[in-house]
A = this chain, B = another copy of it.
Amino acid sequence: MVAQRGRRNGAAAHKRTRGGATPDADNAPTAEIPAVAENGADPEVRAKSIPEAAVARLAVYLRILSAMAEQGATTVSSEELSTAAGVNSAKLRKDLSYLGSYGTRGVGYEVAVLVGQIERVLGLTRQHKVAVVGIGNLGHALANYGGFPGRGFPVEALFDIDPDLIGVPVGGIPVTHLDDIPQVCADRQISIGVIATPPAAAQTVCDRLVEGGVQCILNFAPVVLQVPEHVEVRKVDLAVELQILSFHVARRADNEPNGKVAESTVAGNGAVLQS
């Protein structure tokens, strides 16, 4: 079962300006799953939706499964996989259930099948060409990742505004000028743009990427990007990450003014504690 092509999703989650939110996921984005081939008479709603949070975890499972496969494992139980991924086994099973039923009760899951299904749902069966904009320290690092972590994400274009960089190959690809973003992206069918420019340039770069037909943007610049409805943005913000960690340090320091602790992050649900 499960062909491709989904039928509409009744959801229609309202999106707002988006572009924000680094760490936490948007809530309830829920997206449609490929689902079955529709032939009309659908008993009930076939198309299922996958919570964004689950999607993120699926990516993690995929990596672990790939590693397992490489080591010759052919099957895994939800228990195994869940501990490896650091999640609750029930949650893992629920996540996998979004893919369909590919497990065998009493046995577990076939690693190869799972890998294939996750790749299908995540859209990894086809390549997504990546462009990196801003070849500074970070951009350099990204460009050199070479094909980017995991296969399926070949870097095929690099952009910068610095004249000295134009034409210089980085990681095998010559750097092009910012002005050519729309043209080059369109030509090379870039689908993912990575912004690693200074904050001031980010929005402009973003606009050009969109103009070039880029559908998804990974933004490392500490700016909230404004994009049209149909463009997906994810943000990775170093400063925010550090500040969140800072918060936890501070919290801990406050909770244990006397240096004595225990508890700390424990708690069944709410930390609870009084100073």
CB pair A244–B123 under 8 Å, yes or no, is: no
Segment 215-265 of A: residues with Cβ below 8 Å from B: 215-218, 222, 224, 228-230, 232, 234, 236-255, 257, 261, 263-265
Q: For the complex, is A182 an interface residue (Cβ under 8 Å from B)?
A: no
Q: For the complex, is A52 an interface residue (Cβ under 8 Å from B)?
A: yes
Q: For the complex, is A174 an interface residue (Cβ under 8 Å from B)?
A: no
Q: For the complex, is A148 an interface residue (Cβ under 8 Å from B)?
A: yes
Give the residue name and chain of the B residue nearest to A63 (CB): B222
In the complex, which of the residues A1, A31, A253 has the most CB atoms of chain B within 10 Å of its own CB atom?
Answer: A31
A23/B249 contact (C-beta < 8 A), A16-B88, A49-B270, A254-B32 known: no
CB pair A264–B16 under 8 Å, yes or no, is: no
Q: For the complex, is A39 an interface residue (Cβ under 8 Å from B)?
A: no
Copies of this chain held together in the complex: 2
CB pair B149–A144 under 8 Å, yes or no, is: no
A2-27 near B? 1/0 per residue, CB < 8 Å: 11111111101111111111111100
CB pair B253–A84 under 8 Å, yes or no, is: no
| Chain A residues touching B, range | 35 or more
CB distance from A50 to the nearest CB of B (A): 8
A257/B216 contact (C-beta < 8 A), A86-B18, A88-B16 known: no
Given A60-B237, A122-B247, 9 extra CB contacts under 8 A: A1-B23, A8-B263, A15-B265, A20-B86, A50-B247, A128-B246, A138-B141, A229-B271, A234-B245
Instruction: For the complex of A and B, list the 9 residue pairs with the smallest distance between their C-beta atoms, beginning with the closest.
Output: A123-B250, A20-B86, A24-B25, A137-B141, A149-B239, A1-B23, A216-B245, A17-B86, A24-B53
